[in-house]
Amino acid sequence: MMVTRMRVILNIFLVIALVLVGRLAWVQVVWGPDLAAKAQEQRARVYVDPARRGEIVDRRGNQLAYTMQARSLTVSPRLLRSELRQQQDLAMRIDGMSRADIDSQIDGRVEDVLVRMSEEIPRMIEDAGAITGEVKSQEILDKLHAETNYEVLVRNVDPDVATEIASTFHGVAADHQDIRQYPNGAIAENIIGKVSMDGQGQFGFEASGDAMLSGINGRSTEDVSTDGQVIPGTLRDVVPAVDGSSIELTLDLDLQTYVQQLLEQAKANSQAKSAEAVVLDVATGKVLAMANTDTIDPNGNIERQLEQGKDFENQPISHPYEPGSVAKVITAAATLEEGLTTPDEVHQVPGSIHMAGVTVSDAWDHGLVPYTTTGIFGKSSNVGTLMLAERLGEDRFADYLDRFGVGRPTGVELPNESAGLLPPREQWSGGTFANLPIGQGMSFTTLQMASIYQALANHGERIEPRIIESVTGPDGKVTSTTEPRRTQVVSPQTAETVVQMFRSVMQNDPGGLQSGTGANGAVPGYQTAGKTGTAQKVDPRTGAYSNSDYWITFAGIAPADDPRFVVAVMVDEPRAGVEAGGGGGQSSAPLFRDIASWLLNRDNIPASPPMEDMLILHAH
């Protein structure tokens, strides 16, 4: 009987042992990998090593945007609260508290720690003066309570202070963060743009060039203990960061500053809605300056500036308008290229012309006037321009519009560029051809306007405007940029003839007979060429052209005898002149004069030889 009992007991133990062994095997074989993975996941932390964003500089190496290191205080709220519970549970058990007491008090103790963190972190930052702006305790506490795995408590903290806070409070990390700096404030901000709080390009070149500037973040993985300490020897999966490329723009910061300030003053003097300008290098098509008024300062209060009407818009490429008479240069170039006229041909120009049911008049009343071809453009005669356009014909005129790039974007490396507006050839009516040659019925941007004049100044070759000078990778290697598209619009001989003809616009005849429409745009000591424009806006109430609201335009070349620069200007709805006290007449020519004078003097361009004879605009 004793033997039987022993056998029963042994069998019972054997069954128990088999169950335990089976259970252990189940845990190790079936549950084991999953449990190991979960344990690994709980203690493994992935760290991101942000790539440093490339800087943006002007053509002379002046910084336009660069990155300064700082720190962001971050937490994993769910993990933090879980680890705090473990810490408080262990501490209360060490103190000999019962399970019931621990369960009743643990939530309150965790909350006390969270509240202390939310109050002391802002205090430490404020005492050190380590950040601009207010850090609110309640906002931090809300983030500590969040049901998320990642929260940024405070951004842009001084690295030393951030490190001290991270070492003081369990679960807080001092993550690397880059602060984008714009040392020139609003200057060129319409071009540069800005980045978001997360370092992503939002506006301007920061957005269009984001892929080049941002680089590729690095990553690494390490294991941490329950108290947040890194476990030595667990660093793995290390992928180094690749910093972003640095970009050199074609902009000239000194020129950009001058032009931007000049436009702001012109807007104030003329009580205009806005003003803008573009300066191109003739030989390369590179953008030396591109400015508009009311550009926002990224270092200031953004919301307040937006309320004041400032913005991040780059109007010279995104806001097209009817150019008016400044576009007559296309008709001049086309008719000369086709051999349909000469600069000195005399035309008997009436006060109005009737074309396909449309009557077009000049801006001043006159009878039959003997204008030369040069005079038609120097005096800005609508009637004379249309007389020449009729010789050219609609099809050939449409071809020259295309050659000059009207109706399509220039391709400059910036976002939100407008193509402007040009009716398709198949949709032209007779009235269309009565408008287009004199700059009505189509629209283009100030950059497109500058590009047209660049082609004529550059021996008839149009070079698509570019804003990127060079790209330097993080390894220091300079990457070549894509060559701009080149188009031989007219012959070099025609281009030179047009430039010489359009000196007449700046000509000043004491008797008035041979004066051009932009005499106040002349630069003393230099020959210059260009064209004025006064484009009527459409009145939204009537659908007809307004007699009071205008776009005032000007595009010019300096110097005309050896072209170096093209300057294009637009002033929107001026109520007075752009010069001090509202002087200068209803013209943008004085802005061309001031910008061209500044450039010619700064770059020590030799003075032009004096003109031997006055150009004949009005034949006797």
Cis peptide before 484 (omega within 30 of 0): no
Which has more confidence, 546 or 62? 62
Question: For the residues 517-532, what does the mean pLDDT come to?
Answer: 95
Residue with token string 């000194």: 254
Q: Is 325 a catalytic residue?
A: yes
Question: Minimal CA–CA distance to 172: which of 89, 46, 72, 47?
Answer: 72
Taking the CA atoms of 541, 546, 552 and 555 in sequence, report the sign of the dihedral they define.
positive
Question: Minimal CA–CA distance to 518: which of 531, 500, 501, 535?
Answer: 531
pLDDT of residue 156: 82
Give pLDDT tens digits for 289-313.
999 999 999 988 888 999 999 999 9
pLDDT of residue 34: 57
Q: Read off the pLDDT band of 236 (50, 70, 90).
A: confident
pLDDT of residue 42: 53
Question: For the residues 137-152, what does the mean pLDDT come to?
Answer: 91
Instruction: Say what the alpha-carbon torsion angle 99, 102, 107, 110 is, to the nearest 10 degrees.
Output: -130
For residue 285, is pLDDT > 80? yes
pLDDT of residue 22: 62
Question: Minimal CA–CA distance to 312: which of 295, 324, 290?
Answer: 295
For residue 32, is pLDDT > 70? no
Question: Minimal CA–CA distance to 172: which of 163, 183, 184, 160?
Answer: 163
Q: Give ∠ CA 251-255-257 in degrees, rounded to 5.
A: 100
Question: For the residues 135-155, what does the mean pLDDT come to?
Answer: 90
Give pLDDT tens digits for 249-279.
999 999 999 999 999 999 999 999 999 999 9
Q: Which one-letter amino acid corresponds to residue 584?
A: G
pLDDT of residue 131: 59
Give pLDDT tens digits for 190-212.
999 999 877 888 899 999 999 99
Lowest average pLDDT, out of 375-384, 413-422, 430-439, goes to: 430-439
pLDDT of residue 419: 96
Q: How are beta strands 545-558 and 151-157 bridged, if at all?
A: unpaired
Do residues 498 and 456 make contact, with C-beta atoms less than 8 angstroms apart?
Answer: yes
Residue 572 neighbours by CB under 8 Å, 6+ apart: 272, 273, 274, 275, 321, 551, 552
Residue 437 neighbours by CB under 8 Å, 6+ apart: 327, 328, 330, 331, 385, 386, 388, 389, 397
Q: Which of 58-67, 478-487, 580-589 has the highest mean pLDDT?
A: 58-67
Do residues 263 and 279 make contact, with C-beta atoms less than 8 angstroms apart?
Answer: no
Q: How many CB atoms lie within 10 A of CB 435?
A: 20
pLDDT of residue 228: 60
Question: For the residues 35-51, what does the mean pLDDT come to?
Answer: 63
Given the residues 214, 246, 325, 515, select the one marked as catalytic.
325
Q: Dump strand ranges (E) for 376-420.
A: none
Residue 600 neighbours by CB under 8 Å, 6+ apart: 523, 526, 558, 559, 564, 565
pLDDT of residue 279: 98
Q: Read off the pLDDT band of 20 (50, 70, 90).
A: low
Q: Which one-letter amino acid corresponds to residue 181?
A: Q
For residue 226, is pLDDT > 70? no
Which has more confidence, 283 or 547? 283
State the fold for domain 253-468+478-602.
Beta-lactamase (3.40.710)
Task: Return the domain boundaries, the chain.
Answer: 45-65+180-249, 75-174, 253-468+478-602
Same fold, 45-65+180-249 and 253-468+478-602: no
What are the residue ranges of helices labelled H in 95-136? 99-128
pLDDT of residue 198: 76
Question: For the residues 520-538, what does the mean pLDDT come to?
Answer: 93
Q: DSSP readout, 148-181?
A: SS-EEEEEEE-HHHHHHHHHHSTT-EEEEEEEEE
CATH of 45-65+180-249 among 3.40.50.10070, 3.90.1310.10, 2.60.40.10, 1.25.40.10: 3.90.1310.10
Q: What is the C-alpha separation between 110 and 532, in angstroms, rounded?
A: 74
For residue 133, is pLDDT > 80? no
Question: For the residues 25-47, what does the mean pLDDT come to?
Answer: 58
Q: Which one-letter amino acid corresponds to residue 507?
A: Q
Q: What is the mean pLDDT of the chain?
A: 89
